[in-house]
Structure 1
Amino acid sequence: MAKVSVIIPVYNGAATIGRALASVFAQTFADYEVVVVNDGSTDDTASVLAGYGDRIRVVTQANRGLPAARNSGIRASSGEYVAFIDDDDEWLPQMLERCAAVLDQDPDCGLVYAGALKVDLAGRQMPDQSTENEDIDSPTMEQMLERPWVVVPSRVMVRRAILERCGGFEERCAVACEDVFFLLRARECGYFRRVPELLVRKATRPLYPKALKREQACELLVRLVREHYGASADGFIREYRRSRVKVMKHMARMLMQEGRRADARKCLSRVIYYQPASPKAYRRYLKTFFPVRMPRTSSSTENPATPD
Structure 2
Amino acid sequence: MAKVSTIVAVYNGAAAIDRALSSIFAQTFTDNEVVVVNDGSTDDTASVLSRYGDRIRVITQSNRGVSAARNVGVRASVGEYIAFLDHDDEWMAGKLARCVTVLDQDKACGLVYTDAFKVDLKGLPMPNQESQTDGVDSPTMAQMLARPWNVVPSQLVVRRSAFERSGGFDERLGASCEDLFFLLRAREFGHFLRVRESLVRKTTRPLYPKALNREPQCDLYVRLLRERYGASAAGVIREFRLSRMKVMQHMARVLMNEGGPKDARRCLARVIYYQPASPKAYRRYLKTFLPARTPRVSSSSDLPGV
Q: 2:124 is matched with which residue? A: 124
TM-score, normalisation: structure 1: 0.93
- 1:121-160 per-position Cα deviation (integer Å, ceiling 9, x unaligned): 2222122223321410111001111111111000010000
Q: For 1:1-308, what aligned pairs fall within 5 Å after superposition?
A: 1-292=1-292
Distance in 2 separating the partners of 1:60 and 1:191: 34
Distance in 2 separating the partners of 1:38 and 1:170: 19
**1:261 CA drift (Å):** 1.4
Distance in 1 separating the partners of 2:118 and 2:243: 19
What is the aligned-residue identity percentage?
A: 70
Could you tell me which amino acid in structure 2 is paired with residue 122 of structure 1? K
Could you tell me which amino acid in structure 2 is paired with residue 16 of structure 1? A
**1:80 CA drift (Å):** 0.4
**1:114 CA drift (Å):** 0.4
Larger Rg computed on CA atoms = 1
Mapped contact 2:89–2:154 kept (Cα < 8 A): yes
Could you tell me which amino acid in structure 2 is paired with residue 271 of structure 1? V
**1:292 CA drift (Å):** 4.8
Mapped contact 2:115–2:131 kept (Cα < 8 A): no
- The alignment partner of 1:243 has SS state of helix
Could you tell me which amino acid in structure 2 is paired with residue 70 of structure 1? R
**1:9 CA drift (Å):** 0.2
Could you tell me which amino acid in structure 2 is paired with residue 111 of structure 1? L
Distance in 2 separating the partners of 1:175 and 1:25: 26
Q: 2:302 is matched with which residue? A: none
TM-score, normalisation: structure 2: 0.94
**1:293 CA drift (Å):** 6.0
Could you tell me which amino acid in structure 2 is paired with residue 81 of structure 1? Y
Which blocks of at least 5 consecutive residues in structure 2 are unaligned? 295-306
- 1:157-214 per-position Cα deviation (integer Å, ceiling 9, x unaligned): 0000101111111011113110000000000001100001000000000000010001
Which blocks of at least 5 consecutive residues in structure 1 are unaligned? 295-308
> Which range moves more in the overlay, 169-178 or 79-88?
169-178
Could you tell me which amino acid in structure 1 is paired with residue 64 of structure 2? R
1:293–1:34 distance in 2 versus 1, CA, 3 Å:
closer
- The alignment partner of 2:127 has SS state of coil
1:121–1:233 distance in 2 versus 1, CA, 3 Å:
same
Structure 1 segments, 4+ long, off by >6 Å, are none
Distance in 2 separating the partners of 1:91 and 1:124: 16
The alignment yields a C-alpha RMSD, in angstroms, of: 1.1
Q: How many residues align?
A: 294
**1:267 CA drift (Å):** 0.5
Distance in 2 separating the partners of 1:59 and 1:293: 51
Distance in 2 separating the partners of 1:244 and 1:12: 27
- The alignment partner of 2:194 has SS state of strand
